[in-house]
Structure 1
């Protein structure tokens, strides 16, 4: 697992203003990524799928970039994930995510 990075813009400020809340968020993050049944790679693929359905594409780009760098997630693996996104969420999120994939992997 990589270094802890919280992408929400307000999190850095919370770390300074409310360290107890920040610690709670960080502990939640640790608990989620240390699952009992699923390995980290599988969890990241799930996170990629979920973030692909977000109308704002920066979260998908961040999830995918980190997974590609940390875990060497291949374009083929991402395309398998996006097929599930297409089936469950439709053409719009699929196309939006595909644009990001093309930029990142080409």
Structure 2
């Protein structure tokens, strides 16, 4: 989500029709991804875990791909995150995310 890359399908319409709201979203993104204590890579790994735990397959795939491309996140690092997803969110969320990871 850094550098104004947003994955929600409706964000294009928000940007075009409601530029003030879009600007607020951009500022929120900048405030969330500060890197003050946790670096951006760590924050991205957390984001992957969150979307995977919600069984959001589209967001999980997009977060994984962008993390790999932007930050060099490895499949092994993502697999470590998914171990925590298994523990905290259960087998369905884990297996969906692992299937996505193997597909990438």
> Quick check: TM above 0.5?
yes
Q: Is the 8 A contact 2:2 2:30 kept in 1?
A: no
Query: For residue 3 of structure 1, what is the aligned residue in structure 2?
Result: 3
Query: For residue 58 of structure 1, what is the aligned residue in structure 2?
Result: 58
Query: For residue 77 of structure 1, what is the aligned residue in structure 2?
Result: 77
TM-score of the pair, normalised by structure 1: 0.91
Matches within 5 A, 1:28-67: 28-67=28-67
Give a deviation string over 1:60-94, Cα, whole Å, max 9, x none.
00000000111111111111101100010011100
TM-score of the pair, normalised by structure 2: 0.93
Q: Any gaps of 5 or more consecutive residues in structure 1?
A: none
Give the Cα–Cα distance (whole angstroms) in 1 for the partners of residues 58 and 66 of structure 2. 12
Q: Is the 8 A contact 1:68 1:74 kept in 2?
A: yes
Query: For residue 92 of structure 2, what is the aligned residue in structure 1?
Result: 92
How many residue pairs match? The answer is 104
Deviation of 1:2 after TM superposition, in Å, equals 5.2
Deviation of 1:3 after TM superposition, in Å, equals 3.3
Give the Cα–Cα distance (whole angstroms) in 2 for the partners of residues 27 and 49 of structure 1. 23
Please state whether the residue corresponding to 1:30 is helix, strand or coil.
Answer: helix
Query: For residue 26 of structure 2, what is the aligned residue in structure 1?
Result: 26
